[in-house]
Amino acid sequence: MKTTGTGQQTKATLLPLRVEKVSRSFGGLQAVDQVSFTLSVGERLAILGPNGAGKSTLFNLVCGDLAADSGRCYLRGEDVTGLPLHHRVRRGLARTYQTSSVFAGLTVGEHLMLAHRGPEKGRLSLWTRRAIQSQAADQARNLAEQVGLEGRFGVQGSELSHGELRQLEVAMALAAEPFIILLDEPAAGLSPAERERLTALLLSLQTSVAVVLVEHDMDVALTVADRVIVLESGRLIAEGSPEEIEADPLVRAVYLGEQHGQPQESAS
């Protein structure tokens, strides 16, 4: 792996993500315009912005689902700008989808095994090594328990409820043991109780994992995030702690003011 800067850094201390002046336009629309930000080890970053601000586009540029027109993207110091999603996943990035996207015919356990092997070399192995297999199965079982899917381990994807699908999305991202997780509106369509549970889960994540969160739900976003960046019309207009962002008059004008009549309570 290519390292930039000091050669003595170990993998675990390298900057998980560095985005440099990425831009992307669709036809005449500049969806993301020269956005730069970094993410340090274990940091929780929320990307906020009104509808159409370019959050999802930025998200897809970072994970490789979209190609950037210009700018660069580094994972742990390695330039991954031209790499497609599955190659970034193999390097330790995991993402979830805003609309749950699962495998109808696979059980919850199989989803987690599949996700767990994704970054590994043996993902298409035609040989089953029992020890590794049972270890992966145990890990999958623990993970199912962790996200609240215990007792649903053998249930097929097509039989899960909306809330369970959201939990499975997060569990699949965790199963790959990534160093950076990108969550695309994980709380979309959840009930208040389910939101609380999700928030607790996100707060309980190991600090070795960095999290990027695109979230409409302010409670979830501001509770979980250490740092917030705010986009508007594709440009980064503010950056800071959740408290600073909430207090920022510009941000309140473009975003918070529209969404909520009054300032939100923040748990942190």
Cα distances (Å, whole numbers) of residue 62 to 82, 164, 186, 227: 11, 26, 17, 17
Given the rule CB under 8 A, which of 52-60, 73-81, 116-124, 190-198 is the region that contacts another protein? 116-124
Q: Which of 16, 49, 71, 157 binds another protein (CB under 8 A)?
A: 157
Instruction: Show the beta-strand stretches assigned E in 2-124.
Output: 17-26, 29-39, 44-48, 70-75, 78-79, 93-95
Given the rule CB under 8 A, which of 111-119, 139-147, 196-204, 215-223 is the region that contacts another protein? 111-119
Cα distances (Å, whole numbers) of residue 121 to 77, 117, 137: 22, 8, 18
CB of 247 to another protein, least distance (A): 37
Say whether 93 sits in a helix, a strand or coil: strand
C-beta of 164 vs 246, nearer to another protein:
164
Interface pattern 161-180 for another protein (x via CB under 8 A): -----------x---x----
Contacts of 223 (CB under 8 A, 6+ apart): 199, 203, 266, 267, 268
Tell whether residue 131 is a contact of another protein (CB under 8 A).
no
Tell whether residue 97 is a contact of another protein (CB under 8 A).
yes
Tell whether residue 154 is a contact of another protein (CB under 8 A).
no
**Residues in the chain, how many?**
268
Given the rule CB under 8 A, which of 7-15, 118-126, 147-155, 196-204 is the region that contacts another protein? 118-126
Tell whether residue 126 is a contact of another protein (CB under 8 A).
yes
Contacts of 256 (CB under 8 A, 6+ apart): 218, 246, 263, 264
Phi, psi dihedrals of residue 94, rounded to the nearest 5°: -135, 145
Residues that bind another protein (CB under 8 A): 65, 84-86, 89-90, 95, 97, 101-106, 110, 113-115, 117-119, 122-128, 130, 157, 172, 176
